[in-house]
Structure 1
Amino acid sequence: MSHLLVLNKDEDTLSVVDLDTKQVIKTVPTSHNPHELVITPDGKKTYIACSLGNTIDIFDNQTLEITGHITHEQFDFPHGLDVTRDGRKLYLASTFSALLYIIDVESDTVEDVIPTHQTYSHMISFDPDQEKVYVPNIGSQNISVFDTATKEFTAVIPTGKGPEGIGVHPRGHHLYVANQDDDTLYVIDINTHEILFKRRIGHVPVRLVFSPDGKYALTANRESNDVSVILTEQRINETVRPWEIKRIPVGLWAGGIVFSPDGGYAYVANNKTNDISLIDMNTLKETERIDVGIHPDGIAYLK
């Protein structure tokens, strides 16, 4: 049985969606203003960044209940987060305090707090080897590069205006950045930090995810109410390049996106129509919607 976990920012809840019935089977109260979430690799718990509550909620995926909280005196809009592949460490970006947190997953305690020295450090993305963490700084128009071995920031990569959506291609060569304030996608060489490609996409792109096989990158374009489909290796005239091949209309204010593990479907949280769009990745069309709570955004696939 598979479920979607969907955060509803404007009613402080989490919706648990049964993907067989396409129905919400439980609505769970959270701390204030839940934005982003991540499921641990063992599937046992989910961490929920409640941004205006300055709290990380800990959700038990078996009992479907909130079982604990992580707080810190310097949390100021905790937001983007991810867990290492070995399940030992949680990395978290705190937007307004411009800090990167490393949290021990076993004890749920803060281990390290590292300043980014940038403005509005908002999301995070690991490289496939998890040697680097990339942090987009919305107010500084750049990406900070963090070395997980030395626990130091080692570089800053200039981007377009308002970088937010971010992801490293599964094969690890390219960093994709969606710049919400100039409606562009940058494709960056992760070794040289050279900007290889710039692409115009939809209006106000705020999220970016790759399909499990790396064939596609999807961006959620908040104010054009659609999803850009980027074929990461379009082959034409003996040239290989990333190229937007379609924009798929979805609900109002597209936000969080997640793929099913097999890559057959993508699920998009529509902030202003209070629903989830199901996109068939074989046809590249929206097939149906699932109603959830008010202002859904962060979304995760629980198998």
Structure 2
Amino acid sequence: MSEHLIVLNKDEDTISIVNLESNKVEKTLETSHNPHEVVVTKDGKKTYVACSLGNKVDIINNDTFEVVNRLEHPDFHFPHGVGITNDGKKLYLASTYSEKIFIIDTETDEIEKVIPTHQKYSHMISFSPDGSTVYIPNIGSNNITVMDVNKEEIVTHIPVGPGPEGVAVHPNRKHLYVANQEDNTLFVIDTETYEVIFKRRVGGIPVRLVFSPDGKYALIANRESGDVSIIETEQHINGQVRPWEIKRLPVGVWAGGIVFNDEGSFAYVANNKTNDVSIINMATLKEAGRIVVGIHPDGIAYLKR
């Protein structure tokens, strides 16, 4: 069993394959123009890379770490956010400037369905833990599109703060976390009522948000302030239980993509402007080191095979 990071270097059109045993780049491969976001299939066999300015999706064979196929479509206009359904059968892709969601068969790699959101700048893809719902932040409309995965239909749009980008559902399925980059806030939303139940101030321009596997922490990458907001999702204090920022951890310049390993013992943050990846020890909540990668690393994924 091996562990790797797949790190997208968007300003040199490459991917760094990092071996987590050595914390060094094992291989560098060329991609289509401007690789932004990445997802690994549930079986670990393939990786999908949204190359935003190239308007392509590159498909990587994880046995060889080679690009084996490329998807194109006339309505790929800055393809960006990607996510895989829980059964592993379908890839969801958000195309930012065409404001459409593409549903792709992961066995055939054919586009099955194209769904317009009718919102402005549909940017990311985030599935609920049970896989029944997908949440799509619309940066220009200041809302979140909610889709029913079984029906492959849009259910509603939830108003949030200005410029939402980082979005994820807590493993308990009760709370949707939304990072609003234009006013540096975190909204915690009830997934049943869509009511905003908490608002929190975070760092400058929060762009990515992920939960630890056990749900204890949410990590938010703050691009402008070069740090990570560490949110304890259920802080117990003075008879209250609340989500609270317990630490703002400095990392590299322009923190971006962020991912955990399977055990949740380490998190990894792609630092766009220092061309490296911060290693965060989740036991100490401190930066444990850096991994040097390519130019302008942003999207990042974890692979264990």
Q: TM-score, normalised by structure 1?
A: 0.99
Tell me how far 1:203 sits from its aligned partner: 0.4
How big is the shift at 1:181?
0.3
- Matched with 1:291 is 292
The residue type equivalent to 1:117 in the other structure is H
How far apart in 2 are the matches of 1:290 and 1:148?
37
Indicate the residue corresponding to 1:302 in structure 2: 303
Show the counterpart of 1:183. 184
**SS of the residue aligned with 2:284?**
coil
Q: Distance in 2 between matches of 1:43 and 1:198?
A: 36
Deviation per CA, 1:106-138: give whole Å up to 9, x if none.
100000000000000000111112111110000
* 1:260-275 paired onto structure 2 within 5 Å: 260-275=261-276
Q: 2:103 corresponds to which residue?
A: 102
Displacement after TM superposition at 1:254 (Å): 0.1
In 2: Cα distance, 1:125 partner to 1:212 partner: 15
Residue 117 of structure 2 is matched in structure 1 by 116
The residue that corresponds to 2:174 in the other structure is: 173
TM-score (norm 2): 0.99
Amino acid at match of 1:212: P
In the aligned structure 1, how far is the partner of 2:132 from the partner of 2:280? Answer: 32
Q: Which residue of 2 aligns with 1:164?
A: 165
> 1: distance between equivalents of 2:94 and 2:156?
17
Q: Distance in 2 between matches of 1:48 and 1:132?
A: 22
Matched, 1:42 2:43: yes
Q: Following TM superposition, where does structure 1 have runs of at least 4 consecutive aligned residues deviating by more than 2 angstroms?
A: none
In the alignment, the residues of structure 2 paired with residue 152 and residue 301 of structure 1 have an alpha-carbon distance, to the nearest angstrom, of 29
Residues 69-108 of structure 1: matches in 2 within 5 Å?
Answer: 69-108=70-109
Distance 2:102 2:148 in 1: 13
* CA-CA distance at 1:86 after TM superposition: 1.3
Q: What are the Cα deviations for residues 154-182 of structure 1, in whole angstroms up to 9, with x where unaligned?
A: 11111111000000001100000000000
CA–CA distance in 1 between the matches of 2:5 and 2:151? 35
Shift in Å, 1:36: 0.4
The Cα offsets for residues 34-78 of structure 1, whole Å up to 9 and x where unpaired, read as 000000010000000000011000001001100001111101000
Show the counterpart of 1:142.
143
Which blocks of at least 5 consecutive residues in structure 1 are unaligned? none
Q: Distance in 2 between matches of 1:254 and 1:43?
A: 26
Task: Judge conservation of contact 2:235–2:244 (CA < 8 Å) in 1.
Answer: yes
Amino acid at match of 2:276: D
Distance in 2 (alpha carbons) for counterparts of 1:87 and 1:151: 15
Is the counterpart of residue 277 in structure 1 residue 278 in structure 2?
A: yes
Which moves more between the two structures, 244-253 or 124-133?
A: 124-133
SS of the equivalent of 2:228 reads strand
Instruction: Give the number of equivalent residue pairs.
Output: 303
| CA distance, structure 2, for counterparts of residue 130 and residue 272 of structure 1 | 34
* Contact 2:162/2:183 (8 A) holds in 1: yes
Deviation of 1:149 (Å): 2.1
Q: Deviations over 1:219-254 (max 9, x none)?
A: 000010000000000011111110000000000000
8 A contact 2:86–2:130 mirrored in 1: no
Quick one: distance in 2 between partners of 1:190 and 1:95?
24
> Superposition RMSD on alpha carbons, in Å?
0.6
- Rounded to whole Å, the distance in 2 between the matches of 1:144 and 1:125 is 11
- Mapping of residues 120-269 of structure 1, within 5 Å: 120-269=121-270
**1:152, distance to aligned residue in structure 2 (A):** 1.6
